[in-house]
Chain A
Amino acid sequence: MTHGLAHDTELTDRQFEVGMLTRVEGEGSLTLHVSDGEVVQARLGIFEAPRYFERLVVGRTPDEVIDIVARICGICPVAYQMSAVHAFESLFGVEVSPEVRRLRRLFYCGEWIESHALHVYLLHAPDFLGYPSAIELARDYREVVERALALKRTGNRLVAMLGARPIHPLTVRVGGFSRVPMREELMSLRRALDEALEVALATVSFVAGLEAPRFEREPRLVSLRHPDEYPMNDGRIISNDGLDIAIDAWRDAFEEDQVSWSNALQARTHAGEVYLLGPSSRLTLNSDRLHPRAAEALASIGLADEIRLNPFWSIAARAIELVHAVAESIDIIDGYRRPDRAFEPGTSRPGVAAWATEAPRGLLFHRYVIDDAGLVAAAQIVPPTSQNQAAIEADLTAFAPSILTLPQAQATHRLEQLIRSYDPCISCATHFLDLRIEAPVR
């Protein structure tokens, strides 16, 4: 039996279903079970068909793997390439030149810019401003959406400059890149980046003026941390509760498990605890590593605690990281000297290649077993969304009581907004609909 929330105020035993998550790349659902007025279970179902990439790369060479894993995501292909290439280089003992290392950070900055701009403005902002989608937002806030497009264009140009095309880049290889740009090529992006910095700073002001739903919890936060830099490609895996392990040792602390309601594996600590990745975690654990312009922007809005405690404020974390990524891009380009070699030669060797980098949505772990022939014998790819699933469910459980008395449309909107706060990448993400409230059969 299905009711609208607005028609039923007795909230004792109920099942809530956000049926189809639509306007997402992939398919999912949310089910909430309510007993005695309390949410006892929240399930984020992901029924996108398995894509078998971990099997697809078996029998391939490392450089083939780098091209193949880029196809996992149209929004964050750089992340997949970076985790893979660093894993192989670590096993093969290949050390890239400092210039190539900086170019890889620039590459990653491009991806963060395009991904965060998309999410802040086109996917998440409509929730805060009361619009069903960015289409309606664009009609009333043309300038806001134009900002998003300008930022996204600049991010795409950076990725295309280094990767030969804006999605599924082609140039990453073990030891470096197959080609590195001339200084003049990078300088051609400087004006766009100067403009992007202004837009990114305006983005911070814009999001600081939004009103987020009230919700606080103390999550376990996990991210990389580097001694000198805001984390992207290097560092150690840390948490706010004392975890501090090597970047290739993800399996020492975490494990994946299958749950019946999701085609994506869920990750937890070995003790079964959930944890949160992504911009809010990264920023909270590394705010002292932000670029000065980004640190200044964070201080000016004073939302550091809100970012840590309230998942809805992840929009502010993304805005701050936009400033960071643009400002660091400018610094890298200004200091750029074209390396003598685009890549360092290396020799394949058998063993286990593992690494983690910071995708826009959080820690992305890759592990490959390389056989004596130099081919991949086994692979494990742990994307941030699968690691965040359990944390999302825990947050939904904690948040849902506050929406139980709301009218159906409002309750749906709040639940959707919360899930979009994590920028799940089953979704290249937007709204999901069809909230149904079902009383259990008695």
Chain B
Amino acid sequence: MTPTTARLQILVCGNSDRCDDGAAIWAVSHMLPNRGFLEASGIAVTQCGQLDVNDLVGIAGPVLIVDTAVGVAAGASVTLDFDELLAHPKDISPHSSHALPIDQVIGISRSLRDAPLDGLFVGIGAADVGFGQRLSTPVREGMGQFVDAIELALMRLTAYVH
């Protein structure tokens, strides 16, 4: 991963009114601040309804994508770096990429950027992406582990920021 002095960006994907699709928003907005991590690290957080090339092209530093994950058991967390996502896009990928698959989003962004694009994806498997704000039981039970994974990913990425 390429060292950079730029700030770290978290892209929080999903919709909070689509049950488990809001898991990432829930984790970052309600649980992560309790751990005092965001303030300490000067991290920028952006909410994305969908992951778009435009979101990644303009970012200077490393990126953490937090989203529900396709290809993961409900409530289980997964952490992949971007190279792993590109290598096996059909196996596990972020849920919120409507227009282009994730390998295209990252690949096109990398092609267009003047600086390398590195980062991590932390996802949680969803059980229910129906309508409503309620998280499913497996996702509620897996939320602690999900936030742990996000925190660990932030620690890995901030090692390159500071």
Contacts and interface: CB of A to CB of B under 8 A. Distances in A.
B28 to A, nearest CB: 17
Given A153-B54, A167-B49, A138 B108 contact: yes
A139 interface: yes
Contact of B54 (A56, A68, A142, A149): A149
Contacts of A152: 52, 54
A122 B98 contact: no
Given A134-B104, A149-B54, A75 B98 contact: yes
Interface string A126-167: 000000011110110010011001001100100000000111
Interface residues of B, number: 21
A392 B111 CA distance: 33
Contacts of B131: 56, 68, 71
Contacts of B111: 135-136, 138-139, 142, 145
Interface in A22-52: 22-23, 25
B140 interface: no
A11 interface: no
A339 interface: no
A125 to B, nearest CB: 12
A138 B101 contact: no
Contacts of A134: 100, 104, 107-108
B107 A135 contact: yes
B119 to A, nearest CB: 17
A221 interface: no
A314 B92 CA distance: 33
A10 B18 CA distance: 54
Contacts of A168: 15, 49
Given A75-B99, A118-B99, A168-B49, A145 B108 contact: yes
Given A145-B108, A149-B57, A166 B49 contact: yes
B98 A428 contact: yes
B48 to A, nearest CB: 9
Interface string A393-428: 000000000000000000000000000000000001
A387 interface: no
Contacts of A133: 104, 107
Contacts of A118: 99-100
Nearest to B57: A149
Interface residues of A, number: 30
B9 interface: no
A23 B101 contact: yes
Given A133-B107, A146-B112, A122 B54 contact: no
Contacts of A22: 90
A165 B108 contact: no
B124 interface: no
B100 A122 contact: yes
A278 to B, nearest CB: 18
A153 B57 CA distance: 12
B53 interface: yes
A436 to B, nearest CB: 19
A142 B54 CA distance: 14
B158 interface: no
A135 B104 contact: yes
Contact of B112 (A75, A136, A145, A153): A145
A142 B49 contact: no
Contacts of A166: 49-50
A135 B98 contact: no
Contact of B98 (A25, A138, A165): A25
Contacts of A122: 100, 104, 108
Contacts of A23: 101, 104
A329 interface: no
Interface string B47-84: 00110111001000000000000000000000000000
A74 interface: yes
A153 B55 CA distance: 10
A423 to B, nearest CB: 12
Contact of A135 (B49, B50, B90, B108): B108
25 contacts: A22-B90, A23-B104, A68-B131, A71-B131, A74-B98, A122-B108, A134-B104, A134-B107, A135-B103, A135-B107, A135-B108, A138-B108, A138-B112, A142-B112, A145-B108, A145-B111, A146-B112, A149-B53, A149-B54, A156-B52, A166-B49, A167-B49, A428-B98, A428-B99, A430-B100
Given A23-B101, A166-B49, 9 more contacts: A56-B131, A74-B99, A118-B100, A135-B103, A135-B108, A138-B111, A145-B111, A156-B54, A430-B100
Interface of A: 22-23, 25, 56, 68, 71, 73-75, 118, 122, 133-136, 138-139, 142, 145-146, 149, 152-153, 156, 165-168, 428, 430
